[in-house]
Structure 1
């Protein structure tokens, strides 16, 4: 399959300034020529863009519908699709990312070495910033349906920025965007109906007044969340408040880490503590160097779910990507390692991907 993909990329090269991401759909021109080749016919005049579908009937009510992220992982499916929906004037960005490619020719850095580098980096920051509540996250989460009239599953790309102040005031902004395809329409889930929206469309924007109290995962009450610790053992106990067995099971630890990073942006000392905590997990093994979906170079570490004790993560591969010099978590990816026909899952399909930015 790799050879065929390489041939297609050579037949439809992308502009050199179009970014470092590997997975892009064919252009309308290339799709037209590919269709002609497959039908063994001579290409006719090529359309300027893919026509919008106007005949899609409204689907009946679904039996069940799921929105899946790394913090709510369960059996699900995603196919690598490029879809055109009713109301879209141009072809939208690909619905699903392809799995990250580990560069086997680059040396893998042990987690213990990353932890040492992160600790040295934190010590060198004499006026190191403290962790602040809030985060900047780019995500691709699986959205799927089951039932006799279920639509094909797709992955919804979003960018989320949350910011909080010491007095409890803050804001949350969610935008439909996919940095792999700047300026292209983006697939969005509108109350169970797939549609495309313009790149950068605001999906949610809310501000909170001073004194806002949200449920704290640590204390369980309506107080401002406790600041995360900078000690590995204390951090392990802290993450266990997100998932009760995060202190003993790696898949739960990774899901708790996702929840933590959606709530907080850690400073260098907290980042070093996290790298040290991860280095103690013997079942989290170096996978190699990767280029993440935002074009950043990092080291990937893998956990493979292989038995029923992993629960819903059985049959998945979880990657966490770290900056080897600072220990910063760049991203997390979950893919399937086996087929699940009932959900149309294929081995290698991406369940979710999260990319964190400073």
Structure 2
């Protein structure tokens, strides 16, 4: 590349004293310089010779081969994951930001909208889930990495079900994805199948496998049993919501019951409009307490849960994370 740049500098078909950005034909000087550029023999590269390594030629060749392989791998990862000026595919997602000057919608108001939208009972409850998740993997002495996955669980009429898990990140379609498949983080192609499993027929009458109710009081008891607690405070409630949505795709009536339950949750406050990680508009509700800051994103028309984000509220230097970094995020789809 250096030789080509030097030829261009020497040819200089557009000198500083010439007309800039002209649309007309080149003058005679420019034509001559371009002719030289096209047909002049390129200067030879200087070869560099290394002194012989007496008695160690095979080992030297092996070491040089390993070094060359390492250079190729580093170069490939740089190309795949982005150069110095682009956000790498391994970067942790930034926290969702609330749209400036947007109007927060109280949960009581959204509960009324959700109840009205559920009058016809459509869509209906469906067993199984489709969820996109991002989770932060941390270890001592190593920078944290974000592992994105997509999981689809589908149940059949005979109570058997399949689970498909792939490595993908919709924020960067087609780009490589980091996974901890095999126990160590490594880069795989977008859409790489991590697991594909078929489970035999099974059923349980205990939450979260049991069918969730569409009455707010009954749903509260259901979620308390899901997270095994007698006191369903807001942190446990949000834990229960995540567990529920990892097993069921709620219908309109179940979503309406859930919003009515959330409206009574202490400390869960409306903050305004957001766009979730799948590009969907939503209303955000934030709870700050132990275990990080949580943001629940709800559909502004139906009250359906779109996503749940947890961010660090303080620095954790030993793990290389700072306050505001995303700890985990889930986005649920129908």
TM-score, structure 2 normalization: 0.73
Q: Is the 8 A contact 2:144 2:321 kept in 1?
A: no
Residues 1:105 and 2:104 aligned together: no
Name the one with the larger helix percent. 2
Match of 2:298 among 318, 322, 327: 322
Encode CA deviations 1:172-212: one digit per residue, 9 max, x unaligned. 00011000000001111133322111111111101123x23
Segments of structure 1 that go 5 or more residues without pairing to the other structure are 1-51, 57-83, 220-224
What pairs with 1:197-208 in structure 2 (closer than 5 Å)?
197-208=188-199
CA–CA distance in 2 between the matches of 1:286 and 1:129? 26
CA–CA distance in 1 between the matches of 2:166 and 2:77? 19
Q: Is the 8 A contact 2:178 2:185 kept in 1?
A: yes
Q: Show the counterpart of 1:3.
A: none
Q: Show the counterpart of 2:266.
A: 282
Q: Show the counterpart of 1:231.
A: 215
CA–CA distance in 1 between the matches of 2:108 and 2:250? 19
Question: Which secondary structure state, in structure 2, belongs to the residue aligned with residue 136 of structure 1?
Answer: strand
CA–CA distance in 1 between the matches of 2:277 and 2:123? 26
CA–CA distance in 2 between the matches of 1:156 and 1:273? 32
Q: CA deviation at 1:85?
A: 9.4
Match of 2:229 among 235, 245, 262: 245
Q: Show the counterpart of 1:218.
A: 207
Task: Note closer, same or farther for the CA distance 1:216–1:202 as it changes in structure 2 (3 Å cut).
Answer: farther
CA–CA distance in 2 between the matches of 1:53 and 1:108? 57
Q: CA deviation at 1:217?
A: 4.5
CA RMSD of aligned residues (A): 2.3
Q: Is the 8 A contact 2:213 2:219 kept in 1?
A: yes
Question: Which secondary structure state, in structure 2, belongs to the residue aligned with residue 152 of structure 1?
Answer: strand
What pairs with 1:36-185 in structure 2 (closer than 5 Å)?
55=70, 90-91=80-81, 93-123=89-119, 125=120, 128-146=122-140, 150-185=141-176
Q: Is the 8 A contact 1:236 1:247 kept in 2?
A: no
Residues 1:269 and 2:258 aligned together: no
Task: Note closer, same or farther for the CA distance 1:176–1:250 as it changes in structure 2 (3 Å cut).
Answer: same
Q: Show the counterpart of 1:348.
A: 324
Match of 1:192 among 164, 171, 183: 183
CA–CA distance in 2 between the matches of 1:270 and 1:53? 59
Q: Is the 8 A contact 1:132 1:265 kept in 2?
A: yes
Q: Is the 8 A contact 1:289 1:300 kept in 2?
A: yes
CA–CA distance in 2 between the matches of 1:53 and 1:273? 61
TM-score, structure 1 normalization: 0.68
Q: How many positions carry a matched residue from both structures?
A: 260
Q: Is the 8 A contact 1:335 1:352 kept in 2?
A: yes
Q: CA deviation at 1:342?
A: 2.8
CA–CA distance in 2 between the matches of 1:176 and 1:284? 32
Q: CA deviation at 1:247?
A: 4.8
Encode CA deviations 1:155-178: one digit per residue, 9 max, x unaligned. 100010001124211100001100
